[in-house]
Amino acid sequence: MRRIEDVIRDITKILEEERVNYVIIGGIAVVAWGNIRTTRDIDIILYINAKDADGLEAALKKEKFSIQAEDIRDALKERSHFTIFDELSEYYIDTKGIYSENDRITLERRRRVSLADLAFFVASPEDTIANKLLFGSEQDVKDAEGIYARQFGNLDMAYLEERCKRLGVYDEFLTMKKRVERRMQEVG
């Protein structure tokens, strides 16, 4: 049984060896910058071209990850997600390419995090907040609030505000900011 940290270690090692730039987003990025909550999948954005799909499939299969190059090519063509399954555990990697300016910026501003002998790239706290506000579910907004509170004073506010404006979630950002700062005062 492969543990989640081993899944991350193995998958990021493969991507680095294959020279595929990546950024881990979603629940893993949330836990790095905000509150601790569980997650069942690992969400990744890859900078990959269709011509590299065969090489990536071979490298992944060698390490007991399951994916078809055809699925990668189809997803890139349709600008959708593809799933990499781990044959040694129940974890799976929900993967997408660079489909928008937003994805490109999230990848470019990735941050390296480390623990013990493991190091990998996750989305920055600012990009994670902005994207969570864009997705907009109750859990997404809670995630954004947790990051804002934990990273309060450490965030690049000018960038975050600009990013929220670009994504059309500036009103949501202001509402969240006001609510979190009020709660922060209340709990001291």
Q: What is the binding site for other proteins (CB under 8 A)?
A: 1, 3-5, 28, 31-39, 89-90, 113-116, 122, 142, 145-150, 152, 179-180, 183-184, 186-187
**Shortest approach of other proteins to residue 183 CB, angstroms?**
4
Which sign, positive or negative, has the C-alpha torsion 73, 79, 80, 86? positive
Q: Which is nearer to other proteins, 29 or 164 (CB)?
A: 29
**Shortest approach of other proteins to residue 166 CB, angstroms?**
25
**Shortest approach of other proteins to residue 38 CB, angstroms?**
6
Q: Which is nearer to other proteins, 56 or 121 (CB)?
A: 121
Give whole-number Cα distances, 144 to 78, 102, 139, 141, in Å. Answer: 29, 17, 9, 5
Surface-to-core class of residue 182, CB atoms within 10 Å of its CB (0-12 exposed, 13-18 middle, 19+ buried): exposed
**Shortest approach of other proteins to residue 88 CB, angstroms?**
12
Asked if 157 and 129 count as a contact pair (C-beta separation under 8 A), the reply is no
